[in-house]
Amino acid sequence: MGKLLKLRHLYVDRCTLLRYLPKGIGSLKSLQALDWPFKFESDDEALKLGDVGMMDQLQGSLEIAWLGKEDDESEMEKAQLGNKEHLSELKVWFHVARGEQRKGDDEIVKAMQPHENLESLSIGYCHGTTESLYWISTLHNLRKLDLYYWRFFEYLPPLGKLRSLEILEISGMDKVKKVGVEFLGREQEEETLFPKLKRLRFSDMSSWKEWEGITKDSSEMITIMPRLSSLEFVGCPNLKALPDMLYKITALRTLGIYLSPTLQYEYRKGVGKQWHNIAHIPNLYIDK
């Protein structure tokens, strides 16, 4: 396989009994499409994540699965994702494990730093912290972001400066109790935050109690989520209320609240204390 130097497309996704790809594939510098999900392999003959370091022509989607082994940090560094300017989508998930925080996940995420051209990013089951995603603000073309089951996140990363972001899904952040202004990523007195965001979804946020918006003094100088059309909460049982900044979004057409009893009570149609703040939204889906 390593001699097919002009090979551009390799599809093996439906080869369900194939244990691994041969290591020689790592020398295919012209390869543009590879639908193989990279997983930890102990066999010396297997293609590893680090072997894609020379594949700077890769396009489309790249999947990396079951991270969390001792040598995954070095493999991630060798992969040089930052050089792969043609990749549009990156999907990464770590070993599904509960209990104590797994050491090493932070360093793996730091070494992951993809090229700024990336359009879609999904990372799940990571035991890392918010600081490991310091590079997220460099992804100026990112349109979709999905962060799920980062069980040791204590606060959300600053995402408001992602100028191309249209879809944001956050779920399973067990330790997040408060979403504050750091989530907006405000840097200037006058600016627009989340300028293109259209869909925002929170789910399985069991400890989340408070969402703090901007102060009234800043509300006239800051524009937040001007294009948001869909907002959804699923499994946020302790969240008390939504920030005032959300009520001012004229583009908001759909609000869904499910399995979130406190919100459901406060926003009950006609009788909830907060009902008047959402009554103008055309499409309301609130569990009774």
Q: Which amino acid is at 174?
A: D
Per-residue pLDDT band for 137 (boundaries 50, 70, 90) equals very high
Q: Residue 218: which pLDDT band, with cuts at 50, 70 and 90?
A: low
144 and 17 share one domain: yes
| Residue 15 belongs to a domain | yes
Residue 217's pLDDT is 57
Could you tell me if residue 180 is inside a domain?
Answer: yes
Of 287 and 28, more confident: 28
Higher pLDDT residue, 240 or 68?
A: 240
Residue 187 has pLDDT above 80, yes or no: no
**Shared domain check, 132 and 71:** yes
pLDDT at 39: 84
Do 141 and 181 have their domain in common?
no
Instruction: Tell me if 251 is assigned to some domain.
Output: yes
Looking at the fold, whether 126 and 180 belong to one and the same domain comes out as no
Residue 161 lies in a domain: no
Q: What is the gyration radius of the CA atoms in the chain, in angstroms?
A: 21
Q: What is the mean pLDDT of residues 57-69?
A: 91
Asked if 109 and 68 touch (Cβ cutoff 8 Å), the reply is no
214 — pLDDT class (breaks 50, 70, 90): confident
The answer on 199 and 85 residing in a single domain is no
Domain boundary among 126, 152, 178: 152
Structural domains of the chain, count:
2
Question: What domain range is 209 assigned to?
Answer: 168-288
More confident residue, 77 or 186: 77
What confidence tens digit (pLDDT) does each residue in 265-282 have?
Answer: 999 999 999 999 999 999
Q: Is residue 148 part of a domain?
A: yes
For the stretch 4-59, pLDDT in tens is 999 999 999 888 888 889 999 999 999 999 998 888 777 889 999 999 999 999 99
Comparing 69 with 176, the larger pLDDT belongs to 176
**Is there a single domain that holds both residue 9 and residue 148?**
yes
Query: Is residue 249 domain-shared with residue 134, that is, in the same domain?
Result: no
Check whether residue 72 and residue 201 sit in a common domain: no
Q: Which of 120, 152, 184 is the last residue of a domain?
A: 152
199 in the same domain as 136? no
Q: Which CATH number covers residue 32?
A: 3.80.10
Q: Please enumerate in sequence order all residues whose Cβ is within 8 A of that of 235, keeping only pairs 6 or more positions apart, or say none.
A: 203, 204, 205, 206, 258, 259, 260
85-119 tens-digit pLDDT: 999 999 999 988 877 888 899 999 999 999 999 99
87 vs 68: CA distance, rounded Å = 23
Q: Between 208 and 18, where is the model more confident?
A: 208
As a whole number of angstroms, the distance between CA 145 and CA 163 comes to 12
Question: Distance between CA 260 and CA 205 in Å, rounded?
Answer: 10
At 166, the pLDDT band (50, 70, 90 cuts) reads: very high
182 within some domain: yes
- pLDDT score at 215: 66
**Is the Cβ–Cβ distance between 158 and 167 less than 8 Å?**
no
Q: What is the pLDDT of residue 188?
A: 76
What CA–CA distances, in Å, run from 57 to 21, 30, 87, 88?
A: 19, 6, 8, 12
Q: Is residue 159 part of a domain?
A: no
The yes-or-no verdict on residue 216 having pLDDT over 80 is no
**Confidence category of residue 77, pLDDT binned at 50, 70, 90:** very high
